[in-house]
């Protein structure tokens, strides 16, 4: 299979920018009807309705932002693409409004030819080194 590496696809950039809107319906609209989300802070979710419900709580942060810090996108054929990388979420600390909280995470987005997210996985980056013993 021949793969082609491209820049971050527009739907993933829109996802990143939409974090600050606090609009769960807008966020879930980026996903295919039967999409699967493996979120950073919840169980596996399938379908727009459950994904929208997740975003209602997830987006409820003051001055919430997301920035992709590194990524690679591969076109895997027939218009499908896979984007892997790292992003950082940051928002005002609810316990100390003069400070910001930062969550460093890694992700995978799989997009269909229509530009909809069909699968997304997100997990917090490990903070401890892995010992190979």
Residues listed for the chain = 133
Tokens 């003051």 belong to residue: 62
Domain range enclosing 54: 4-124
Residues β-bridged to residue 111: 81, 117
Is 130 within a domain? no
Rg (CA), the chain: 15
Distance between CA 107 and CA 123 in Å, rounded?
Answer: 7
Is 69 within a domain? yes
Is 91 within a domain? yes
pLDDT digit string, tens, across residues 74-122: 999 899 999 999 999 999 998 999 999 999 999 999 999 999 999 999 9
- Return the CATH number at 107: 3.10.450.50
pLDDT digit string, tens, across residues 15-45: 999 999 999 999 999 999 999 999 988 899 9
Is 86 within a domain? yes
How many folded domains does the chain comprise?
Answer: 1
For residue 69, is pLDDT > 80? yes
Is 54 within a domain? yes
What are the tokens at 29?
A: 């609209």
Q: What is the pTM of this model?
A: 0.88
DSSP 3-state percent helix, strand, coil across the chain (nearest 5): 20, 45, 35
């Amino acid at each position: 299979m021949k793969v082609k590496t491209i820049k971050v696809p527009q739907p993933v950039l829109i996802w990143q920018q939409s974090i600050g809107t606090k609009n769960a319906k807008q966020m879930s609209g980026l996903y295919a009807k039967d999409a699967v989300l493996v979120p950073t802070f919840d169980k596996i979710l399938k379908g727009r309705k459950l994904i929208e419900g997740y975003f209602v709580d997830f987006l409820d942060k003051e001055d919430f932002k997301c920035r992709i810090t590194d990524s690679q996108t591969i076109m895997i054929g027939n218009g499908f693409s896979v984007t892997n990388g790292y992003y950082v979420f940051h928002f005002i600390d609810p316990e100390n409004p003069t400070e910001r909280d930062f969550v460093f995470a890694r992700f995978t987005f799989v997009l269909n030819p229509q530009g909809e997210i069909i699968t997304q996985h997100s997990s917090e980056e490990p903070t401890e080194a892995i010992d190979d013993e």
